[in-house]
Structure formats: structure tokens, C-alpha cells
């Protein structure tokens, strides 16, 4: 019996070990798939990881090389810490944090040295004058600096710098009560941070740089492309000559605009970092980044109109979408909706191409006029026709689509301003513009397009 029991225990142990091995293998395989997916999604992530490792390896020389360590002392470790906290994915983010950290350390160190001088004067008046004065100064400076973080402009651009200012001032001011060589301490801290920031900037700018400006530009183009996909889907599934949608639920084009609604945080962050970046590519030093934020706001408003239209269409498609008691009015409204959606899609495709290639959107400007005329004609038709109640569903759909055309017109005007402020290049000739449009799927360009 003991032998059988031992065999049973051994079998259970083997089974347990096998189960643990399978679980470990499953976890490792899942982790490997996630890592591979993240790398394939954006290969720049791999390059950034290697750049961080290289920057840390370079800055370690400050601590490992004896002459450098003797010159900076134990403060050399701040250079390593600086690389860890400053190195960001984009050039703009690294520049923002690096310059904020360096300037905040310099200003805080100078003010802390001044506070130490005031505290020494107070010491002459009272035995406890120095610690009391330092405590009072730390209280007021930290409170004032913290309050500045609530100002929107400062929080957007300099929040990290203010935080480092509070940290550095507190460390240097408090240390001044016990440390004799305060000036040397402040110098060492500032120099080590400058070394760390310099290594970060060199690594970020000169080795496979990732520009926040390029990313926000691509984001604007991508948002316009998604809006165009929605309108193209509406035109194909709802307003085409031979298409009467019965059930649109689950259609991919009804979901594509949703990522536009959630793009504000990414857009604002990229625009903030892009303002710190030097000139690169076609992006000048004072590129109108704020115009991208305005464009993003208009795109989200347009996406909200699409959401309203999509929700209404989905909930009413089971009632025979374009069937109506008045066939003549039904045909007119359907034809006008087809015209509006077709030209609106052309406008958004043209604007997407203009943003992507940084060219003046002449095609979109001409096409949006046609879409606006169709929307105005539709509104007049619906207001004047006495049979409106008989085609109420169609009228609501058409009105939502007409409002969507208004949003597209606002986007067009915003891109025009961006093209002017950013000095977008002019297409070489009309053929270039039309060929570029056709490559993006815009069929039958208007014959009266004039390239100025």
C-alpha cells in the first residue's frame, strides 16, 4: 500500500509540475505576443528603447570615470536620474522636460542661495533666526510656486519645471543649514543635470528622432480620412441609386469616426510638445500648431454630428429607410442626400490629401461649394413642401446630413487658414491636383476646378 501511495503522490507531483510548466509557457507566449504586437504596431518604440539604454550607458561614464566623478562628487548620480525622468518618446517631449528641468534647477538654486544669505542675516539678530527664516521662505516660495501650477498656461507648458523648482529649492535651501559649501552643492547639482539633459537631447535629436510635430500632422490627416470613410459609407449604403438600407447595425463605417471623438488628449499633448521642437522637414520654427487644435475641435464636432446621424439611422432602418408616402419628394430628398454625401466625402478626401502632402486644398474648396448648395436646396425643399410629415424620417436624416455638410465647410475653412499660415506649397498644375485626388479615391473631379 505504501508503494501505491508513493506512486500516487509522484503522479500528482508530475501532474502539478506539468500544469505549472504549461501555465508558465502560456504566460510567456502571451507576453511575447504582446511585445511583438507593440513592436509591429510602431517600430519606433524599439528604437526609443535602445536610445534610452544608450543614453543611460553614456551618462554612466560620469559616475564611473574617476576624473569626472572627482569633479562632480556624489552629485554625479543626478545625471543618471535626469536621463531616466527626462528621456521621452518624442523630441518635443524630451526638449520640454529637459529645458524645464535645467532652467528650474538654475533658478531654484539661485533663489535658494539668496534665501541662505537672508537666513544668515537673520542669524545675527537671533540664535534661531536662520532656521526660522529658512522655514518661512520655504513655506512662501513653495506655496507660491504650487499656486502657479493652477494657471492653465503654466500647467500646460511648465508644470514639470515648476515641480522641479519646488524640489530643488527645498533641497538646497534646507541643506544650506547643515552644508558649508552651499555654492558648490548648487553648482554640482546644476552641472550634473545639464550633462544628463545634454546627453538626452543629443540621443533624441540625432538618432532616429520622433517628432511630435509630424505625429500631430499625421493625426490631423488620419482624422479627416476617418470622417471621409463614414460619409462614403453613408453614401454607399443609404443614398446610392440602387441601395436602400434595411439594417445598418454592425457596419464598420458606423464605428470609424469614434476614435476621432477620443483624440483630444493626444492632440493637445502633441501640439504642446511640438512647440518646443526646432525646425525640421517642412515644419518651420513658428509653425501654427494651434491651428491643428482648432482643426481637431472641428473634426470632433463633425464626428459628433456623425454620431447623431448614425444613431438615428440605425434605430430607424427597420422601418424601410427611404420608403415614403410621397414617392416624388422621397426621390428628390434621396437624390440630394446622395449629392451632399458624395461631395462631402470628396471634400474630406481632398482635405486629407492636402494635409498629408502639405498642399493648398483647391479641389476641396471648389467641391464644398457644391455640397453647400445641395444642402441649401434641400432645406428649401423640405420647408416648402406640404408633405413633410409624410416623409418625416427622411427629413430628419436629410437635416442631420445637411448639418454635417456645415461642419465639413468649417473644416475646409480651417484647413485653408492652416495652409496659409503654414505656407503649404501650391500644386504644380491642375493635372497634379486631380491625379493626387484620384489616387485617394476621389472620382469625377469637378470640371470647373481652377488652380490659382
Summarize the chain as % helix, strand, coil (round to 5).
80, 0, 20
In-domain check, residue 444: no
In-domain check, residue 140: yes
In-domain check, residue 339: yes
**Are 171 and 267 part of one and the same domain?**
no
* Phi, psi of 161, rounded to the nearest 5 degrees: -65, -40
Contact between 357 and 422 under an 8 Å Cβ cutoff? The reply is no
**Are 266 and 411 part of one and the same domain?**
yes
Question: Does residue 135 carry a pLDDT above 50?
Answer: yes
- What range defines the domain where residue 51 resides? 46-206
In-domain check, residue 386: yes
User: How many domains is the chain built from?
Assistant: 2
**Are 118 and 162 part of one and the same domain?**
yes
The gap between the terminal CA atoms of the chain, to the nearest Å, is 99
**Are 387 and 285 part of one and the same domain?**
yes
In-domain check, residue 232: yes
The predicted-structure confidence for 256-277, as pLDDT tens digits, reads as follows 888 898 889 899 999 999 998 8
Choosing from 206, 241, 276, the residue where a domain stops is 206
**Are 286 and 371 part of one and the same domain?**
yes
**Are 169 and 284 part of one and the same domain?**
no
Q: What is the spatial distance between Cα 211 and Cα 277, in angstroms, rounded to a whole number? A: 8
**Are 408 and 290 part of one and the same domain?**
yes
Instruction: Copy the grid coordinates of residue 116.
Output: 541662505
**Are 218 and 164 part of one and the same domain?**
no
Question: Does residue 4 carry a pLDDT above 70?
Answer: no
**Are 201 and 261 part of one and the same domain?**
no
**Are 301 and 197 part of one and the same domain?**
no
Q: What is the spatial distance between Cα 358 and Cα 445, in angstroms, rounded to a whole number? A: 20
Higher-confidence residue: 248 or 312? 312
Question: Does residue 398 carry a pLDDT above 80?
Answer: no
Q: Return the SS3 of 359.
A: strand
**Are 425 and 356 part of one and the same domain?**
yes
Higher-confidence residue: 241 or 418? 418
pLDDT of residue 162: 93
Q: How confident is the model at residue 318 (pLDDT cuts 50, 70, 90)?
A: very low
Question: Does residue 215 carry a pLDDT above 70?
Answer: yes
| Residue in the block written with cell 418625416 | 392
Instruction: Copy the grid coordinates of residue 433.
Output: 491636383
In-domain check, residue 192: yes
Choosing from 206, 227, 250, the residue where a domain stops is 206
- In CATH, what number is assigned to the domain containing residue 428? 1.20.58
Question: Does residue 303 carry a pLDDT above 50?
Answer: yes
In-domain check, residue 25: no
Question: Does residue 70 carry a pLDDT above 90?
Answer: no
pLDDT of residue 43: 86
Q: What is the spatial distance between Cα 348 and Cα 364, in angstroms, rounded to a whole number? A: 7
**Are 193 and 269 part of one and the same domain?**
no
Instruction: Copy the grid coordinates of residue 260.
Output: 476621432
Question: Does residue 227 carry a pLDDT above 60?
Answer: yes
**What mean pLDDT is reported for the chain?**
78
Higher-confidence residue: 380 or 102? 102
Q: Which residues are within 8 A (CB) of 189 and not within 5 positions of it... i.e. 6 or more apart?
A: 75, 78, 105, 109, 168, 171, 172
* Phi, psi of 283, rounded to the nearest 5 degrees: -100, 110
In-domain check, residue 21: no
Choosing from 142, 177, 206, the residue where a domain stops is 206
Least confident of 51-60, 65-74, 147-156: 65-74
| Residue in the block written with cell 455640397 | 371
Amino acid at each position: 500500500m505504501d508503494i501505491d501511495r508513493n506512486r500516487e503522490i509522484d503522479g500528482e507531483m508530475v501532474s502539478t509540475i506539468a500544469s505549472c510548466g504549461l501555465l508558465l509557457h502560456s504566460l510567456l507566449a502571451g507576453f511575447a505576443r504582446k511585445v511583438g504586437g507593440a513592436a509591429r504596431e510602431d517600430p519606433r518604440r524599439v528604437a526609443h528603447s535602445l536610445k534610452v539604454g544608450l543614453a543611460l550607458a553614456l551618462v554612466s561614464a560620469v559616475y564611473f570615470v574617476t576624473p569626472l566623478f572627482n569633479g562632480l562628487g556624489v552629485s554625479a548620480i543626478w545625471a543618471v536620474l535626469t536621463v531616466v525622468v527626462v528621456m521621452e518618446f518624442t523630441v518635443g517631449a524630451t526638449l520640454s522636460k529637459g529645458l524645464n528641468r535645467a532652467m528650474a534647477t538654475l533658478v531654484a538654486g539661485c533663489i535658494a542661495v539668496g534665501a541662505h544669505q537672508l537666513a544668515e542675516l537673520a542669524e545675527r539678530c537671533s540664535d534661531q533666526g536662520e532656521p526660522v527664516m529658512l522655514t518661512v521662505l520655504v513655506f512662501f516660495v513653495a506655496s507660491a510656486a504650487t499656486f502657479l501650477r493652477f494657471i492653465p498656461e503654466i500647467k500646460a507648458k511648465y508644470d514639470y519645471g515648476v515641480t522641479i523648482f519646488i524640489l530643488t529649492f527645498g533641497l538646497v535651501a534646507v541643506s544650506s543649514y547643515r552644508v558649508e559649501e552651499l555654492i558648490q552643492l548648487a553648482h554640482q547639482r546644476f552641472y550634473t543635470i545639464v550633462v544628463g539633459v545634454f546627453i538626452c537631447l543629443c540621443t533624441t535629436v540625432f538618432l532616429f528622432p520622433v517628432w511630435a510635430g509630424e505625429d500631430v500632422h499625421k493625426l490631423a490627416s488620419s482624422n479627416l480620412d476617418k470622417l471621409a470613410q463614414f460619409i462614403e459609407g453613408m453614401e454607399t449604403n443609404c443614398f446610392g441609386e440602387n441601395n436602400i438600407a434595411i439594417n445598418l447595425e454592425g457596419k464598420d463605417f458606423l464605428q470609424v469616426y469614434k476614435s476621432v471623438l477620443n483624440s483630444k488628449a493626444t492632440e493637445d499633448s502633441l501640439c504642446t510638445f511640438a512647440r518646443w521642437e526646432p525646425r525640421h522637414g517642412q515644419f518651420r520654427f513658428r509653425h501654427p500648431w494651434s491651428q491643428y487644435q482648432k482643426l481637431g475641435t472641428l473634426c470632433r464636432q463633425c464626428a459628433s454630428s456623425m454620431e447623431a446621424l448614425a444613431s438615428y439611422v440605425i434605430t430607424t432602418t427597420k422601418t424601410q429607410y427611404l420608403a415614403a408616402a410621397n414617392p416624388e419628394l422621397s426621390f428628390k430628398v434621396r437624390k440630394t442626400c446622395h449629392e451632399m454625401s458624395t461631395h462631402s466625402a470628396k471634400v474630406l478626401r481632398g482635405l486629407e490629401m492636402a494635409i498629408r502632402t502639405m498642399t493648398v486644398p483647391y479641389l476641396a474648396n471648389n467641391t464644398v461649394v457644391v455640397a453647400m448648395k445641395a444642402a441649401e436646396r434641400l432645406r428649401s425643399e423640405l420647408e416648402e413642401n406640404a408633405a413633410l410629415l409624410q416623409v418625416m424620417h427622411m427629413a430628419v436624416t436629410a437635416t442631420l446630413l445637411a448639418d454635417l455638410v456645415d461642419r465639413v465647410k468649417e473644416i475646409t475653412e480651417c484647413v485653408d487658414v492652416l495652409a496659409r499660415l503654414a505656407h503649404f506649397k501650391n500644386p504644380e498644375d491642375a493635372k497634379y491636383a486631380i491625379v493626387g485626388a484620384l489616387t485617394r479615391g476621389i472620382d469625377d473631379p469637378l470640371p470647373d476646378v481652377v488652380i490659382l
